[in-house]
């Protein structure tokens, strides 16, 4: 990504030698000796045109040199074009960025609506770590889209329909422990569900009988039988109440909670429409859609609608209700194949919205500590409590002088933030192993490190205020390399958010925030601010601008900025 300033210049320069030239070959550099941005496009061009790359790069220089914002344009080595931004322009741009609530982020989503389908746990089961990851990633995706001007509908597509309910009803009638249910409804429902699985596993006798009964109960529920509907509602309500405590704790809200049950009644009509429109065909008692050499089943032989049929009903509902430009589905990567086929069917069915599946890897728990009999199932509330308790121990040790209430507040922000950040920081597709030490480390790419960096900026600004200094952003100038390095990092932050949006990759925002905090810390350690003599006003302005951007970056990641740590 390059700043908006350079794009038109680069386009013009490219056009002067080749109208098809690739502006995106202009990239940020990490070594200031190579300028702030470098273009190696001359090499490719030169080859095609059988020209000397250096000579070609030299011809491009005048397109940049002397333009507002460009400090210096020069050719290096065999044909690199190095661009240095003008320091006055850079300082002015940062001040403007600080005044903009969206920190200069291009409003690419203005007038557009995105639906983020995330969290989506399955009723009567505990939310597992996969749903936690979906919750974190989906929440941050929503925040990122909003920052870029999108209207966002966060939709919790809970699994609240289908065969599990027939099984649960049968298990409820046979084996429920009412006291256990009253104490921990979801725990008891989960136990019943697992128990049903065990008892019905037998391929003969009682096992068959149970399976048949479950099928009947599911059918009754789907026909609207009052008792089964009441039980279903009760299970659903109890589960949502438990999820809600987790969401509240994590500051996550949904615009809509429409689970699979909302679409259950629509699937027959959808299948009929697919058949009538020639998208689907009957095949051996089932209804399928042919996709090249693949087949997607929308209705099974036994008449049951598939997961794909539900998602097709859902997509049609969303298109009619919201006309979204984009829909992002956040689930674990094992559902990738489902989404690829479903998207292909949707495209065949003329769904015009951009459909994106963000599939993420597994979060593995450290052995023993938090896993139950089912391995990956934990109570998320307990996990958050443990994170906060661990954070509290660190706060007590490091910040003993703060009062009780503030320490509790810090521990909550650090603990919950650490759990959340570990889900964001890795590239979504990689598997991650839960690691308390890394998550809560004060150094390295962790939530505590980011929060601490901000607290440090806030503390410096407090000290300045106490000493009677009033920050004046107009005083910002960039002279020292460390000031400039921080400035460039800030300039690049919105570029990183744009890339993250394009790639549906919140980890790019995490990475940019980490680099921003690192640059701020290097500036803070190496340069005196309040005792900086003639640089005081400018460095105070830089701190102020950096503080504002770090606060926004933290919020974008769903973290709670702290004034003190
Ligand atoms: N409930 C599903 C699960 O737990 C995720 C649903 C994702 N959203 C969708 N529209 N299919 O795996």
Q: What is the pLDDT of residues 537-549, one digit of tens each?
A: 999 999 999 999 9
User: SS in 3 state form for 149-210?
Assistant: CCEEEEECCCECCCHHHHHHHHHHHHHCCHHHHHHCHHHHHHHHHHHHHHHCCCCCCHHHHH
Q: Is 513 in the pocket of ligand 1 (CB under 6 A)?
A: no
Q: How far is the CA of 159 from the centre of ligand 1 (A)?
A: 7
For 552, the token pair is: 């926004």
Per-residue pLDDT band for 86 (boundaries 50, 70, 90) equals very high
Q: What is the DSSP letter of 112?
A: -
Closest by CA position to 194, among listed 126, 281, 137, 279: 126
Judge whether residue 373 has pLDDT over 50: no
Stronger pLDDT, 15 or 151, i.e. the higher one: 151
Q: What is the DSSP string of 427-494?
A: -TTS-EE--HHHHH-SSSSSHHHHHHHHHHHHHHHHHHHHTT----GGG----SHHHHHHHHHHHHHH
Q: Is 3 in the pocket of ligand 1 (CB under 6 A)?
A: no
What global pTM score does this model have?
0.93
Instruction: Centre a 10 Å sphere on the Cβ of residue 411 and count the other Cβ atoms it contains.
Output: 21
Q: What is the pLDDT of residues 467-503, one digit of tens each?
A: 999 999 999 999 999 999 999 999 999 999 999 999 9
Q: What is the pLDDT of residues 24-76, one digit of tens each?
A: 778 889 888 899 999 887 787 777 778 888 988 898 899 898 888 999 999 99
Q: What is the pLDDT of residues 327-340, one digit of tens each?
A: 999 999 999 999 99
Q: Is 306 in the pocket of ligand 1 (CB under 6 A)?
A: no
Ligand 1 mutation pick, 123, 157, 309, max ligand atoms within 8 A of CB: 157
Q: How far is the CA of 343 from the centre of ligand 1 (A)?
A: 14
pLDDT score of 128: 80
Buried b (16+ CB within 10 A) or exposed e, 78-106: ebbbbbbbbeebbbebbeebbeeeebbbe
Q: What is the pLDDT of residues 313-325, one digit of tens each?
A: 999 999 999 999 9
How many residues make up the chain in this entry? 565
For 472, the token pair is: 């004046």
Instruction: Give the residue carrying structure tokens 């308390």.
Output: 436
For 51, what's the count of Cα atoms within 13 Å in the CB-facing half-sphere?
Answer: 18
For 475, the token pair is: 């005083």
Measure the CA–CA gap between 287 and 299, rounded to whole angstroms.
Answer: 5
Radius of gyration, alpha carbons of the chain:
28
pLDDT score of 365: 72
Residue 407's H or E segment, with its range, is helix 404-425
Q: What is the pLDDT of residues 14-31, one digit of tens each?
A: 777 776 767 777 888 988
Judge whether residue 175 has pLDDT over 90: yes
Average pLDDT, the chain: 92
Mean pLDDT, residues 372-383: 61
Mean pLDDT, residues 406-429: 94
Closest by CA position to 537, among listed 476, 495, 462: 476
Q: How far is the CA of 404 from the centre of ligand 1 (A)?
A: 41
CATH numbers and ranges of domains, the chain: 7-85 (3.30.1360.70), 113-364 (3.40.50.620)
Distance of CA 379 to the CA centre of its chain: 22
Judge whether residue 369 has pLDDT over 50: no
Rounded to 5°, angle at Cα 129 from 126 and 133: 125
Q: What is the pLDDT of residues 183-216, one digit of tens each?
A: 999 999 999 999 999 999 877 777 788 999 999 9
pLDDT score of 488: 95
Per-residue pLDDT band for 225 (boundaries 50, 70, 90) equals very high
pLDDT score of 367: 61
Helices (H) then strands (E): counts for the chain: 21, 13
* Residue minimizing CA distance to atom 6 of ligand 1: 120
Q: Is 126 in the pocket of ligand 1 (CB under 6 A)?
A: no
pLDDT score of 366: 66
End-to-end alpha-carbon separation of the chain, Å?
34
Q: Is 156 in the pocket of ligand 1 (CB under 6 A)?
A: no
Mean pLDDT, residues 248-264: 94
Q: What is the DSSP letter of 376?
A: S
Judge whether residue 7 has pLDDT over 90: no
pLDDT score of 207: 76
Q: Edge-to-edge strands of the sheet including 26-28?
A: 26-28, 37-39, 80-85, 70-76
């Amino acid at each position: 990504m390059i700043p908006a300033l350079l794009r038109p210049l680069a386009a013009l320069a490219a056009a002067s030698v080749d109208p098809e030239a690739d502006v995106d070959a202009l990239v940020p550099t990490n070594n200031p000796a190579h300028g702030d941005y470098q273009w190696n496009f001359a090499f490719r061009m030169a080859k095609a045109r059988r020209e000397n790359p250096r000579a070609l790069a030299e011809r491009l220089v005048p397109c940049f040199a002397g333009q507002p914002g460009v400090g210096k344009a020069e050719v290096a080595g065999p044909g690199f074009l190095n661009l240095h931004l003008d320091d006055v322009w850079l300082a002015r741009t940062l001040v403007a960025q600080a005044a903009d609530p969206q920190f200069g982020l291009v409003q690419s989503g203005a007038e557009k609506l995105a639906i983020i389908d995330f969290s989506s746990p399955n009723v009567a089961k505990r939310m597992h770590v996969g749903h936690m990851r979906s919750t974190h990633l989906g929440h941050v995706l929503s925040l990122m889209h909003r920052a870029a001007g999108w209207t966002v509908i966060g939709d919790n597509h809970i699994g609240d329909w289908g065969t599990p309910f027939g099984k649960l009803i049968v298990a409820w009638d046979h084996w429920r422990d009412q006291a256990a249910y009253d104490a921990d409804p979801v725990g008891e429902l989960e136990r019943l569900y697992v128990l049903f699985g065990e008892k019905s596993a037998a391929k003969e006798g009682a096992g068959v009988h149970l399976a048949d009964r479950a099928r009947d109960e599911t059918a009754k529920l789907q026909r609207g039988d009052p008792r089964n509907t009441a039980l279903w509602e009760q299970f659903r309500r109890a589960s949502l109440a438990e999820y809600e405590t987790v969401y509240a704790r994590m500051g996550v809200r949904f615009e809509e909670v429409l689970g699979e049950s909302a679409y259950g009644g629509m699937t027959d009509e959808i299948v009929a429409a697919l058949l009538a429109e020639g998208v689907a065909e009957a095949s051996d008692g089932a209804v399928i859609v042919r996709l090249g050499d693949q087949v997607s089943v929308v209705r099974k032989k036994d008449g049951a609608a598939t997961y794909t049929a539900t998602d097709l009903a859902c997509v049609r509902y969303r298109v009619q209700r919201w006309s979204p430009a984009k829909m992002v589905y956040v689930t674990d990567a094992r559902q990738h194949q489902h989404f690829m086929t479903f998207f292909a069917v949707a495209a065949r069915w003329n769904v015009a919205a951009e459909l994106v599946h963000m599939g993420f890897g597994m979060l593995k728990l450290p052995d023993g500590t938090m896993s139950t009999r089912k391995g990956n199932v934990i109570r998320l509330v307990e996990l958050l409590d443990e994170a906060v308790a661990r954070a509290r121990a660190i706060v007590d040790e490091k910040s003993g002088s703060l009062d009780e209430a503030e320490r509790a507040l810090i521990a909550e922000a650090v603990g919950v933030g650490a759990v959340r950040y570990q889900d964001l920081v890795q590239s979504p597709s990689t598997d991650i192993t839960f690691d308390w030490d890394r998550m809560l480390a004060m150094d390295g790419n962790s939530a505590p490190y980011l929060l601490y960096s901000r607290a440090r900026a806030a503390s410096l600004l407090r000290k300045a205020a106490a000493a009677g200094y009033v920050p004046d952003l107009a005083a910002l100038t960039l002279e020292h390399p460390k000031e400039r390095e921080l400035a460039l990092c800030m300039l690049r932050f919105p570029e990183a958010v744009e890339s993250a949006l394009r790639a549906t990759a919140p980890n790019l925002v995490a990475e940019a925030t980490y680099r921003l905090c690192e640059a701020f810390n290097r500036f803070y350690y190496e340069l005196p601010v309040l005792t900086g003599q003639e640089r005081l006003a400018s460095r105070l302005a830089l701190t102020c601008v950096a503080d504002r951007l770090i606060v926004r970056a933290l919020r974008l990641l769903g973290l709670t900025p702290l004034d003190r740590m």
